[in-house]
Structure 1
């Protein structure tokens, strides 16, 4: 069984390489992969991907209910012209609230969880499954922009804007770790 961190890095790299031949040679290609991981599983850390059915979405949400899990996102930025690639991975602990079966069924009936890793979207307007986030909120949404800023900076292409400030303003979340990420410490 592949370690979840290795898995998301491998998938992000694979996604970046998959389209490298379809873009201009001067391009940068960004590959990303996010996995929801239940590390309290009796069988060890288990990746919860996108549910294959409504029933599987219900089962995932019941499994995550009132527990803490991890969200891992790996980024792979490929410079097409020379094949150089820089990767980074962000990890966030997510504590789910004790939502009811009725809330689960209503959310699953909306169709929203069927294309989400772990069968939920933290930012969903009607179903607020998360009680607490320890780490990068943007990671749970699906793109840890401070990690992307770090990777681009390592390629000698730091963004001109203050991405960390813009992210926090947009998400209305005072990120406790953004400075560590920008220094490559997370």
Structure 2
């Protein structure tokens, strides 16, 4: 059993997929890039800060100590981080900036037991198919982009906008499973032993 410091239903589904039992902890942190912070550093810092915040919540609630997993995902175009859109118009603009272009999806995971914290980064290159504003608006109208970094979800309707990927599909969804399994094993948790 581990704690998952994330409200993402996609991360919950991915943990279930590899047979990791978990208890969800809700914690909030401010997600603001620092001046001159690289996207890689930002994503890793966010994952680590979420793990630390989750550990603080666990201690405050006097819960049993177990390893805690957190993650952060960013869509990166060049050196610009595309977060979650604030409104449908911004979602359309984000999507059109990705249309026909290649971008990176960076997901960092952090696992802590209160004594040590391990952070790993997964970067996947995603090539989007060219599409016009009408298609972007139709996709935005589904409601799917509203809570997604970069305004799309590869595991949903947004899959039709993706031409190809080079890297971790589960990392694009929000939790790179290979890296997650590797880090959890360093805390004595092996996915297939939980099945």
TM-score by shorter chain over 0.5: yes
Q: 1:157 to 1:126 in 2, by over 3 A?
A: closer
What is the aligned counterpart of 1:64 among 80, 98, 104?
98
Q: Deviations over 1:91-126 (max 9, x none)?
A: 000000012221111111122111000000012237
Structure 2's unaligned 5+ residue stretches are: 1-35
Structure 1's unaligned 5+ residue stretches are: 40-44, 164-186
Give the Cα–Cα distance (whole angstroms) in 2 for the partners of residues 36 and 132 of structure 1. Answer: 15
Q: How does 1:134-145 map to 2 (within 5 A)?
A: 134-145=166-177
| Map of 2:187 onto structure 1 | 155
> Is residue 73 of structure 2 the alignment partner of residue 34 of structure 1?
yes
Report the count of equivalent residues. 156
| Map of 1:8 onto structure 2 | 43
Q: How does 1:40-51 map to 2 (within 5 A)?
A: 45-51=79-85
Q: 1:161 to 1:27 in 2, by over 3 A?
A: closer
Give the Cα–Cα distance (whole angstroms) in 2 for the partners of residues 34 and 54 of structure 1. Answer: 20
Taking only aligned residues, the RMSD between alpha carbons, in angstroms, comes to 1.8
| Map of 1:171 onto structure 2 | none
Give the Cα–Cα distance (whole angstroms) in 2 for the partners of residues 131 and 162 of structure 1. Answer: 35
Q: Is the 8 A contact 2:144 2:152 kept in 1?
A: yes
Q: Is the 8 A contact 1:68 1:96 kept in 2?
A: yes
| Map of 2:16 onto structure 1 | none
TM-score (normalised: structure 1): 0.79
| Map of 2:125 onto structure 1 | 93
Give the Cα–Cα distance (whole angstroms) in 1 for the partners of residues 110 and 182 of structure 2. Answer: 11
Q: Is the 8 A contact 1:107 1:127 kept in 2?
A: no
